Structure 1
Amino acid sequence: MDTRFLGIPELVEVPSVAVVVDVMRAFTVAAWAFAQGAEKIVLAESLDEALALKARHTRWMALKDGPPAPGFDAVNSPGLLRSVDLGGRTVVQKTTAGTVGALAVKDASLVLCAGFVVAEATARLLRRRAGDQVTFVVTGEDGRADEDLACAQYIARRTTESGTDAAAYLRRARESRAAAELAQGVRQGAHPDDVALCLEVDRFPFAMVATLEDPLMVLRPYAVDSLAD
Structure 2
Amino acid sequence: MNTTPEIRVLHLLDGAVRARGVAVIIDVFRAFSLAPYAFMQGAATLFPVGTPEEALAMKAADPALLLAGERDGRPLPGFDYSNSPAAMRRADLAGRRLALRTSAGIQGLLAAGQAEEVITGSFVNAPAIIAWLRNRAPPRISLVCMGWNGSERTAEDEACAEFLTAGLRGEAPDLEPIRRRLRADPSGAKFFDPARPWFPAEDFDACLQLSAWPFVLRRGRDEKGRLCLAPVPVPETARISGERYSGEDLPAPGALTGKRDEETGKQE
TM-score if structure 1 supplies the norm length?
A: 0.90
Offset at residue 84 of structure 1 (A): 1.1
Counterpart of 2:55 (choices 50, 61, 78) is: 50
What percent of counterpart residues are identical?
A: 33
Provide structure 2 residue ranges, at least 5 long, that are not aligned to the other structure. Answer: 238-249, 252-268
Offset at residue 67 of structure 1 (A): 4.1
Q: Match of 1:117, SS?
A: coil
Counterpart of 1:78 (choices 85, 89, 93) is: 85
Which residue does 1:94 correspond to in 2?
101
How far, CA to CA, are the matches of 1:187 and 1:105 in structure 2? Answer: 31
Q: Pick 1 or 2: higher relative contact order, CA cutoff 8 A, min separation 6.
A: 1
Residues 1:225 and 2:235 aligned together: yes
How far, CA to CA, are the matches of 2:195 and 2:10 in structure 1? Answer: 26
How many residue pairs end up in the alignment? 229
Provide structure 1 residue ranges, at least 5 long, that are not aligned to the other structure. Answer: none
Q: Match of 1:84, SS?
A: coil
How far, CA to CA, are the matches of 1:176 and 1:220 in structure 2? Answer: 32
- The CA RMSD measured in Å over matched residues stands at 2.2
Which residue does 2:8 correspond to in 1?
4
8 Å contact 2:215–2:234 — kept in the other structure? yes
How far, CA to CA, are the matches of 1:199 and 1:217 in structure 2? Answer: 28
Counterpart of 1:201 (choices 207, 210, 219) is: 210
Which residue does 1:64 correspond to in 2?
69
Deviates more, 1:163-172 or 1:26-35: 163-172
Which residue does 1:16 correspond to in 2?
21
Offset at residue 186 of structure 1 (A): 5.2
How far, CA to CA, are the matches of 1:216 and 1:170 in structure 2? Answer: 36
8 Å contact 2:6–2:139 — kept in the other structure? yes
Counterpart of 1:191 (choices 200, 208, 212) is: 200
Offset at residue 124 of structure 1 (A): 0.6
How far, CA to CA, are the matches of 2:24 and 2:203 in structure 1? Answer: 22
Greater share of residues in helix: 1
Counterpart of 1:112 (choices 119, 129, 133) is: 119
8 Å contact 2:19–2:142 — kept in the other structure? no
How far, CA to CA, are the matches of 1:42 and 1:91 in structure 2? Answer: 6
Which residue does 2:263 correspond to in 1?
none
Amino acid in the other structure paired with 1:90: R
Offset at residue 104 of structure 1 (A): 1.1
Change in 2 beyond 3 A, CA 1:27/1:10: closer
Q: Match of 2:177, SS?
A: helix
TM-score if structure 2 supplies the norm length?
A: 0.78
